[in-house]
Structure 1
């Protein structure tokens, strides 16, 4: 198990204890189906938000989430659940305020339709388990009725072309890839408006540039980069050994261009003062820790957003760096099966979403049909 998954597994164990016994049973059920700890933590966040809403609306007698009884879920009406959906769509109550049980008002809507759909889907999964897949000592399901089965979610149909257009507007293309990496290393200093920010950037710019360049030169997932150990790097072959989704062992490649930034960082890695035997490639420092420790996924996500905002492309995320690589790869090497192997996709259909991103062939063909 990777370091990130170990950390998430420990956090999951800690968080599950805050929930009623039937949620713990659900989590055990999902574990048996090999759901990842990060996925299960996401479920718990969605359950917590719903349970706290029930408490705020006096729809339960419980004073804590753990005290919410099973029969209270069994007695929920369709109208109540629909009220929750309306609340998610129209309420100005922020999630942080609800989770802290300190309601405050803000002026903007908190959730997109996609996020709302995910939150309701999480509840549908829980209620389906409780009403159909669970079993008590008498062989009966925990719930006698499933109110969530009556809730319909509008499924947004999106074509490959529409998905490609959405990706295209939020990625780096051609020379933007190199300009962005160069900005991280050389240009961001101009945005450091305090001495402390400048010192922090100068400490981490080799690391940050290496992470971003490595993703852009190989299309790696952020978790794959964070979990890298020194022994996983095969510099002479430009390869990285890693365990991918589905626990698949793989050894994808990265470019010579990305290798330069990686080597530059490795030559300076000791300034993070790693402990003896520390194998993590990418390190971070903290005032409470005497040695450099493995960087966290959230830290990488935040640093990418920081640089992207300063660069002028605020929608760029760490996952969009992977999209950028995939799109550029197909533009230069039009072989989706090669890209599928590099990205570690199980299905070619997943890889093919990138085929239309920079493909103007359809536009040209349509234009030709109307030429005089």
Structure 2
């Protein structure tokens, strides 16, 4: 288990006791459905926000979340939940008005429609479980009515073309891919203005460029990369054995050019001084842990962002590197089903978003249609 997952699992165990018993039952249900630890933590954050609102509004007799009874959820009125949604929509507006009159005062992050919809979706999931899927000792559901089933929230849907356009402005294409990889290895030295920074870069550049090149040459998720062990690498076949999203075992491929950087890193992996029992492929060290240990997800996210900003692509992220691979793959190999298998997507619709990123055929078709209309208009004018 990665450092990030261990930390999240520990946080989940620490937080659950603060919630009512039925929330723990819900968590067990979601675990049986293989929900990830990060997903479960997200549910808890959304539940906590709602429960604390109930307490502050006097809609429960409880003074703490743990004391909120099922009967109180059963008696919730639709108008109360709608008031909660209005609170989510308006609270940040109130905070922004404070900022205008007092710029030194900080405000909470604004809730987008998507965030509000997610918070409602979490509550809908909880209430559906309590009213339809749960079962007490008598075989009855915990709730006899589900007020959340009466609540609707319209969120503007992002079309595939709009999403593709958003991706297009934040990815690497064609020769940018190799130039970025070269920059990670050599170009970034220009920004190391102290010997300490230079030494840090020299120590980690084989590792960093290997991770970046693997993602750009195989489209892997960052979690898949940091969880790799040495025995997961099949160099002769350019494959990586991994457990993908949804706990699916897989062995996707990486390219020959990505293999070169991986092999270069594996030759110097020993300089992190890992213990003999350390199997993690990608290592890091720190003042408190001077012996090589598994790199965590946030470290990779941070250094990719660092390199991207220096390279002149400030919006680049680990996931955008995955987008870059997918877009380039479809450009050179127009088979979305092959890409779906490589990326580990369960649905082809998810993969097809990349078909629009560098596809100019739609705009060309519109231009052809417009030119044809103008030509026809000119013919009509000549005839008259």
TM-score (norm 1): 0.87
Instruction: Give the corresponding residue for 1:221.
Output: 221
Q: How does 1:71-90 map to 2 (within 5 A)?
A: 71-90=71-90
From the superposition, tell whether residues 78 and 251 of structure 1 become closer, same or farther in structure 2 (CA, over 3 Å). Answer: same
Answer yes or no: is the 8 Å Cα contact 2:184–2:307 preserved in 1: yes
Q: Secondary structure at the match of 1:243?
A: strand
Instruction: Give the corresponding residue for 1:113.
Output: 113
Answer yes or no: is the 8 Å Cα contact 1:90–1:109 preserved in 2: no
From the superposition, tell whether residues 60 and 267 of structure 1 become closer, same or farther in structure 2 (CA, over 3 Å). Answer: farther
Distance of 1:310 and 1:64 partners within structure 2: 48
1:118 deviates by 1.2
- Deviation track 1:297-328 (CA, whole Å, cap 9, x = no partner) reads 23222332333233333332211211110000
Distance of 1:322 and 1:256 partners within structure 2: 17
Answer yes or no: is the 8 Å Cα contact 1:234–1:240 preserved in 2: yes
Instruction: Give the corresponding residue for 1:238.
Output: 238
Q: How does 1:306-317 map to 2 (within 5 A)?
A: 306-317=306-317
Q: Which moved more, 1:4-13 or 1:37-46?
A: 4-13
Instruction: Give the corresponding residue for 1:156.
Output: 156
Q: Which moved more, 1:331-340 or 1:70-79?
A: 70-79
Q: Secondary structure at the match of 2:354?
A: coil
Answer yes or no: is the 8 Å Cα contact 1:229–1:280 preserved in 2: yes
Instruction: Give the corresponding residue for 2:184.
Output: 184
Instruction: Give the corresponding residue for 1:134.
Output: 134
Instruction: Give the corresponding residue for 2:175.
Output: 175
Distance of 1:38 and 1:329 partners within structure 2: 30
- Deviation track 1:127-177 (CA, whole Å, cap 9, x = no partner) reads 111122212223332223322222212143333322222221222111222
- Deviation track 1:193-213 (CA, whole Å, cap 9, x = no partner) reads 666555444432322221111
Distance of 1:344 and 1:192 partners within structure 2: 37
RMSD of aligned alpha carbons: 2.7
Count, aligned residues: 363
Distance of 1:16 and 1:370 partners within structure 2: 60
Give the greater-gyration-radius structure (CA): 2
Distance of 1:14 and 1:214 partners within structure 2: 36
1:59 deviates by 4.2
Q: Secondary structure at the match of 1:268?
A: helix
TM-score (norm 2): 0.85
Distance of 1:190 and 1:324 partners within structure 2: 25
Structure 1 unaligned blocks of 5 or more:
94-103
Instruction: Give the corresponding residue for 2:96.
Output: none
Instruction: Give the corresponding residue for 2:252.
Output: 252
Instruction: Give the corresponding residue for 1:165.
Output: 165
Distance of 1:204 and 1:81 partners within structure 2: 51
From the superposition, tell whether residues 187 and 7 of structure 1 become closer, same or farther in structure 2 (CA, over 3 Å). Answer: same
Q: Which moved more, 1:234-243 or 1:133-142?
A: 133-142
Q: Secondary structure at the match of 1:249?
A: strand
Q: Which moved more, 1:122-131 or 1:82-91?
A: 82-91
1:260 deviates by 2.0
Structure 2 unaligned blocks of 5 or more:
94-103, 373-384
